[in-house]
Amino acid sequence: MSEQTSMHGGTRPDAGATEVLEDTSNHEEIALETSGEVGEVLLEVDHVTLRFGGVVALNDVNFVIRRGEILGLIGPNGAGKTTAFNAMTGVYTPTEGKIRFKGKEIAGIKPHRINHLGIARTFQNIRLFPEMSAMENVMVGCDARHKTSVPGVLFRIYRVRPSEQELPPSGIRRSFAKAFGISRHTLEERAGRRRAMELLRFVGIADRAHELARNLPYGYQRRLEIARALATEPELVCLDEPAAGFNPAEKEDLMGLIRRIRDLGHTVLVIEHDMRLVLGVTDRIVVLEFGQKIAEGTPEEVARNPKVIAAYLGEPDDAA
């Protein structure tokens, strides 16, 4: 199994020539600014049990996500991965136990607040805003960190003293901006557009930035979801089956992308079905089965764990 962790398997003949990832983005623009230290506990799933009526979806599940790591959450179908995921992003409230993000309990907090705390996610079944362009989709994400609301937009009442490079080059506009400042709305829009474009470049779909999300090819849509999630400047990015429907070449690209996301400063949680990808990209893996954690460790440890092999790898359905 461990040889699958090698990333440089050479290009395959079927490598999707149209969807080669090229990261030409300016990383300073999109890198995450955070005060946290690598290795500290970021999210803590503390003996969480979740019941729906008589069904126990999660049973005393217990693990942590540390800042700066890529954690994989795997398990056969119906193991409770998505349930755990939903509990972590505030969709479900645990019946017992607690989920803490940076020491703060997140049960009962509204989804948009959880996003503001620093957790973003993608969806297993893509849920973009189909009538918005790729760019606008990402800008909605950028807006999560912006403050201008209706009064600011209507009357431009919040003025900011601009720095030298934000000033218009010359003319009346320049003197006006010097005298009265630039509205926060304008600056935020500008920064949002710039950041959105950098993120699209980062995930490799900048060539179709102004196309409607609904018209983008499947692989682009998946990456757009990731870009949109990153735009909210999350400390923890949760990817729900990001490789679903990808061919092997695209999966390789995705692994590279996930690593680069971590290099920007984000912590990544990946839920994935595809063992090859999970073993290849993650630092640690948590394995669920029937709502219980059956193993946790490095990819090598997990791959050798007999329980995991019995529960998961032995199943031909999931080997694909």
Partner 1 sequence: MSRISAAYRGLKLGERWDHAPKPVRWFVMLLVVAFAFYLPFLNILPFAYVRTDLSTSGSDWSSVLFLIVIYMIVAVGLNVVIGLAGLLDLGYVGFYALGAYSIALFGSTNSPVVKSLQNRFGLSEEWAVPFAVCIPIAITMSLIAGVFLGAPTLRLRGDYLAIVTLGFGEIIRITARNLDQVTNGAAGITQVPVPPGPEVDGRAFFNTIDAHRWYWLALTVLLIIIFLARRLENSRVGRAWLAIREDEDAAAVMGVAGFKFKLWAFAIGAALGGLAGLLFGAKQQYVEPNAFMVQLSFLFVAMVVIGGSGNIYGALLGAFLLTYLPERFRGFVDWRPFAFGVALVLVMILRPQGLVPSRRRAREFDDRRQEAEEAAADV
Q: Which residues contact partner 1 (rule: CB under 8 A)?
A: 89, 110-112, 115-116, 120-121, 123, 127-132, 136, 139-141, 143-146, 148-150, 153-154, 185, 188-189, 192, 214, 228-229, 232
Q: Are 7 and 255 in contact (CB under 8 A)?
A: yes
Q: Which is nearer to partner 1, 113 or 307 (CB)?
A: 113
Look up residue 250 and give its two tokens: 């695209």
Q: Which is nearer to partner 1, 9 or 151 (CB)?
A: 151
Q: How far apart are the C-alpha atoms of 304 and 14, rounded to whole Å?
A: 31
Please, what is the minimum distance in Å from the beta carbon of residue 270 to partner 1? 17
Q: Which is nearer to partner 1, 88 or 286 (CB)?
A: 88
For residue 71, what are the β-bridge partners?
Answer: 269, 284
Please, what is the minimum distance in Å from the beta carbon of residue 85 to partner 1? 11
Q: Which is nearer to partner 1, 27 or 214 (CB)?
A: 214
Q: Which is nearer to partner 1, 188 or 252 (CB)?
A: 188
Please, what is the minimum distance in Å from the beta carbon of residue 180 to partner 1? 17
Q: How far apart are the C-alpha atoms of 307 and 312, rounded to whole Å?
A: 8
Please, what is the minimum distance in Å from the beta carbon of residue 111 to partner 1? 4
Q: Which is nearer to partner 1, 128 or 258 (CB)?
A: 128
From residue 192, alpha-carbon distances to 18, 116, 147, 236, 270 in Å are 28, 16, 12, 20, 26
Look up residue 105 and give its two tokens: 């309990």
Please, what is the minimum distance in Å from the beta carbon of residue 154 to partner 1? 5
Q: How far apart are the C-alpha atoms of 162 and 156, rounded to whole Å?
A: 15
At residue 45, what are phi and psi to the nearest 5 degrees?
-100, 110
At residue 93, what are phi and psi to the nearest 5 degrees?
-105, 130
Q: Which is nearer to partner 1, 7 or 157 (CB)?
A: 157
Q: Which is nearer to partner 1, 121 or 284 (CB)?
A: 121
Q: How far apart are the C-alpha atoms of 82 and 230, rounded to whole Å?
A: 20
From residue 286, alpha-carbon distances to 17, 50, 118, 308 in Å are 34, 17, 22, 10
Please, what is the minimum distance in Å from the beta carbon of residue 274 to partner 1? 23
176 Cβ neighbours under 8 A, 6+ residues apart: none
Q: Which is nearer to partner 1, 102 or 304 (CB)?
A: 102
Q: Which amino acid is at 127?
A: R
Give the chain's length. 320
From residue 306, alpha-carbon distances to 36, 97, 244, 314, 320 in Å are 36, 28, 26, 10, 20
Please, what is the minimum distance in Å from the beta carbon of residue 227 to partner 1? 11
| Burial class of residue 10 (count of CB atoms within 10 Å of its CB; 0-12, 13-18, 19+) | exposed
Please, what is the minimum distance in Å from the beta carbon of residue 81 to partner 1? 17
Helices 184-203 and 218-231 cross at an angle (nearest 10°) of: 140
Please, what is the minimum distance in Å from the beta carbon of residue 294 to partner 1? 29
